[in-house]
Amino acid sequence: MSKTFKNSFRDTFEVNFDGIVGPTHNYSGLSHGNIASISSKAVISNPLQAVLQGLEKMKDLYDLGFKQGVLPPQERPEIQTLRDLGFTGSDKQILSEVSKKSPELLMAITSASSMWTANAATVSPSSDTSDHKVHFTPANLVTKFHRAIEVKTASKILRRIFKNPKYFVHHDPLPSSPAFGDEGAANHTRLCSSYEKKGLELFVYGRDGLDSEKSGPKRFVARQTRQACETLVRTHGLRKDAVLLAQQHPDAIDAGVFHNDVIGVGNQNVFFFHERAYVDSLNVKLALQTQFKKIAGEELFLIEVLSSEISLDDAVRAYLFNSQLLSLRNGEMLLVAPTECEETPSVKKHLQELLTRSTPIKEVRYFNLRQSMKNGGGPACLRLRVVLKPKELKAVNQNILMDEKLYFRLVKWAQKNYRDRLQFDDLKDYKLLNENRTALDQLTQILGLGSIYPFQL
């Protein structure tokens, strides 16, 4: 059967739930293995600019006809974590003590990294699961302390938004052990002929969590384990013939590919990736094509970028593969890329050539997300993809779905509550904590989420 372009706008939607950047957005260089994060350490950030850049992307995609939702940021500084670690006294006293005795801990509990909701959870749609419900498993994020403390609130937020048990199943995070390191949807891609049909779920891991003797990256830690992927397959009730596991190439991880969504992106019948993405690349490509054809009855568009076209360093620097790949109403696809792709000669040249080829990708739009990009998060990092049928979409908390009214309310809210400059010395400011709490309290009312933060309980 010849390759065809698909129109996905029939009965089922892929909804992108983007994280709203939090008021404590800063550059503390916490994410070892993330080149941009390390390189931007101690740079002065602009939280207001960051949140507005993210909201503008959401609004532009909504205007193009895509279903778009929002996920709220978390409370930062995270005082409850400090209390759990034995700090006592008033919130103000605790902040003062931590800033003097452990500035590294202060940076960790003030991180706004929950904005990258691709790490919030792994999601399998009802078309793929044995009980025909949408399954969510919050990522445990055990390899980074500043991210691991997000899990409890992230789980609560997801359960509050997708709360109808008739349609949604929420699992607990995997065990908090390096053997089951799970980074969420950033290492998960679903391929299908159309959203409402059964798909092939690709899980990517960096290491075997139970075999430390196996060779791996030398410079940076591989975050996702094979055991985590295998567990998600079981708990989500996925068919074995509709699942593929692939291992990240150690060289890619050492080049700064800390998640698969930095080296490959897929949507429906297209998979766009770098040739250095996977161990045993030839067999991975063969398995993708073979399994996809069995499930979808057609061939998969495998778009492989060679190192001679774009080096690993350029791919990581520009975040080409951290772009969003979205299906337009006419059956063609749009690539949502960061402006860094337009500014990197090898990447820009390749994308211009790609648009002339016989693939569904026929348009590229560049977005300014520099505040997020400086911390190592591009367009794909900022969103959690959830495939929903009409009844499932109706069961979602409707207050978090983007429209013109919500966009302008959120812009006004951000302009009222966010600072336009933040550096390390500001993180210990007790006023910043109160500003964050005030902003989040207002936001939960706007989004109709009720009390979800510790300070509200």
Going from the C-alpha of 439 to that of each of 27, 364, 436, the distances in angstroms are 21, 34, 5
- What are phi and psi for residue 278, nearest 5 degrees? -130, 150
Distance between terminal CA atoms of the chain? 58
Going from the C-alpha of 145 to that of each of 63, 93, 109, the distances in angstroms are 37, 22, 9
DSSP line for 258-318: -SGGGTEEEETTEEEEETTSBTTHHHHHHHHHHHHHHHHSS--EEEEEPTTTS-HHHHHHH
**Token pair of 59, please?**
């609004």
Identify whether 229 is a catalytic site residue: no
Identify whether 192 is a catalytic site residue: no
DSSP line for 353-399: HHTTSSSSEEEEEEE--HHHHTTT--TTTTEEEEEE-HHHHHHS-GG
Q: How far is residue 65's CA from residue 63's CA, in Å, rounded to a whole number?
A: 5
Identify whether 183 is a catalytic site residue: yes
DSSP line for 72-130: ----SS-HHHHHHTT--S-HHHHHHHHHHH-HHHHHHHT--GGG-GGGTEEEE-TTTBT
Contact predicate 145/345, CB 8 Å: no
Q: How far is residue 291's CA from residue 201's CA, in Å, rounded to a whole number?
A: 10
State how beta strands 200-205 and 188-191 pair. antiparallel
**75, 183, 275, 392: the active-site residue:** 183
**146, 236, 259, 350: the active-site residue:** 259
Contact predicate 286/304, CB 8 Å: no
Cis before 77? omega within 30: yes
Q: How far is residue 259's CA from residue 220's CA, in Å, rounded to a whole number?
A: 12
**Token pair of 353, please?**
């050539």
**Token pair of 342, please?**
């337009």
Contact predicate 279/207, CB 8 Å: no
Q: How far is residue 407's CA from residue 209's CA, in Å, rounded to a whole number?
A: 42
Which contiguous run of DSSP H or E holds residue 69? strand 68-71
**192, 229, 341, 381: the active-site residue:** 381
Candidates 323, 447, 402, 397; CA nearest to 62 is: 402
Positions marked catalytic: 183, 259, 381
